Amino acid sequence: MGRVLRNPKLWLFAACLLPLARLVALGASGGLGANPIEFITRSTGTWTLVGLLVTLAVTPLRRLTGRAGLIRYRRMLGLFAFFYACLHFTTYIWLDQFFDLAGIGKDIVKRPFITVGFAAFVLLIPLAVTSNHRMMRRLGRRWQQLHRLIYPIALLGVIHYLWLVKKDVTQPLIFGAVLTLLLIMRLPWRLGALQTLWPFGAVKPAKAGRRRADDARKGRGVNAAGSFSRGQ
């Protein structure tokens, strides 16, 4: 038991469930406000975006801290982003539209903010499906190419938020700024010329590292596509 409790993954898993636990607690105590469906939609959408950005932060964080082992948590973070996206999508089709398929179809075609949100959700599905070891092995190099979809997905997610607010774009812009920062932090490793300017150097392979150690030695970085892989 003590061994299990010392596993950081368990704590991370519990932490990732907190936003859902909060919604359940608020719902049970009547704390969701006058428009509970709007509250749930906003909350699950926000936590999807947070999940995507945290997932995308793993790679830069590994490089900044030199703690390559952080990669072990990325798949769980990505899958939680997908989990909240599923809750968000379910809230929309069930609580908001009540399975009015014609209405949903019209929304997707006619409302740009729903179009991009829906596109982001659909693109997330193959990433979630291929997040296990078996699929990683099967897809080989193409796995990484596929998981680079996380970049357009995060971008579509931020645009989805930006286009839906009536006037106050502060929050979507904050998400946009964080995403931009996370993408910029990837640039130095893409552009070999800039690499020498970076004081931290290339990431060291983690103690447990096996699979990606080669990449790291070549200075290509470990799986720049910040997505659902465990990586090692």
Judged by CB under 8 A, which stretch of 11-19, 48-56, 65-73, 94-102 contacts another protein? Answer: 94-102
CB closer to another protein out of 23 and 54: 23
For tokens 């990431």, name the residue: 203
* Tokens linked to 116: 């991009």
CB closer to another protein out of 111 and 204: 111
Contact between 28 and another protein per CB under 8 A: no
Contact between 218 and another protein per CB under 8 A: no
Contact between 110 and another protein per CB under 8 A: yes
CB closer to another protein out of 94 and 198: 94
Among 22, 67, 106, 210, binds another protein (CB under 8 A): 106
Contact between 107 and another protein per CB under 8 A: yes
Contact between 102 and another protein per CB under 8 A: no
Q: How far is the CB of 167 from another protein (least distance, A)?
A: 6
Contact between 174 and another protein per CB under 8 A: no
Q: How far is the CB of 10 from another protein (least distance, A)?
A: 35
Q: Which residues ranging from 40 to 79 are in contact with another protein (CB under 8 A)?
A: none
Q: Quick one: which H or E segment has residue 22?
A: helix 8-28
Report CA 50 to chain centroid distance, whole Å: 7
| Alpha-helical regions (H) of 91-212 | 101-110, 112-129, 133-139, 141-147, 150-164, 170-184, 187-190, 192-195
Q: How far apart are CA 113 and CA 104, in angstroms?
A: 13
Inter-residue long-range contacts of 204-209, CB under 8 Å, 24+ positions, other chains counted: 204/66, 204/68, 205/68, 205/232, 206/67, 206/68, 206/69, 206/71, 206/72, 206/232, 207/69, 208/69, 208/72, 208/232, 209/68, 209/69
Contact between 99 and another protein per CB under 8 A: no
Binding positions for another protein, rule: CB under 8 A: 33-35, 37-38, 95-96, 98, 103, 106-107, 110-113, 163-164, 166-168
